Structures are given as C-alpha cells and as structure tokens.
Amino acid sequence: MWIISTSIAAIVTTAIWYIKDPQGKYKLGTLSLMLWGATIMMFIDGMVGFVSEGSFLDISLTPTMLAVILIIAAFIAWEIFLLVTDPQGVLTKRRQIKAVKSQ
C-alpha cells in the first residue's frame, strides 16, 4: 500500500510542479524528487519482498501508516528546505524591516 500512496503523491506533486511552478519558485521540483526517490526505494523493497516472500503488496494497517508518515516527513523536509532557502525572500524582507525600525 505504501508504494501506491507515495507514487500517487509523487505523480500529483510532479503534475502540480509542471503546470503551476515551471520556474521553480516554490521548489516543488525538490518535493517531487523526494517523493520519487521514496517511490523507487519502496519499489525495490517490494521486489525484494516478492523474491524472498512471494508477495509484492502488503495492504495492512502498518504499511499504510508508514506511507502516511513518509509523505508527511517529505512535506516537513520540503518546508524546512523552503525556510532555509527562502525562495521569495519573505524572511529576508522581514529582517530588513526590523533592522530599519531598530535604527
């Protein structure tokens, strides 16, 4: 189940990035790459599970919760990346305004 969830999240993020953010203003390409990386990792894990145990998909509660946690972690990492890079300069503008007001 986790490969399905993360691949859907990766596809949706890639489509939004391609349609709404081609210049990379919101760094959706980074989020898309994180989700695609997780999807590839889970695909390889599923293939190893298929070879060793004979099952590719596990549709129980644990893998579903793992997928949700992984997608949330990708969004948190993306948010931290946005705060560090500050693509729109919001934090820089606020620092400049505070510096001017304090003088």
Question: What residue spans define the domains of the chain?
Answer: 2-102
CA dist., res. 4 & res. 19, Å (int): 22
Q: Would you state the structure tokens that stand for residue 103, as one six-digit string?
A: 């003088």
The count of C-alpha atoms lying within 13 angstroms of the C-alpha of 59, restricted to the half-sphere facing its C-beta, is 1
pLDDT tens track for 70-103:
999 999 999 999 888 887 777 777 766 766 777 6
Q: What count of residues does the chain have?
A: 103
pTM for this model (two decimals): 0.79
Cβ count near 12 (within 10 Å): 12
pLDDT tens track for 41-64:
989 988 888 888 887 777 888 888
31, 74 contact by CB (below 8 A): yes
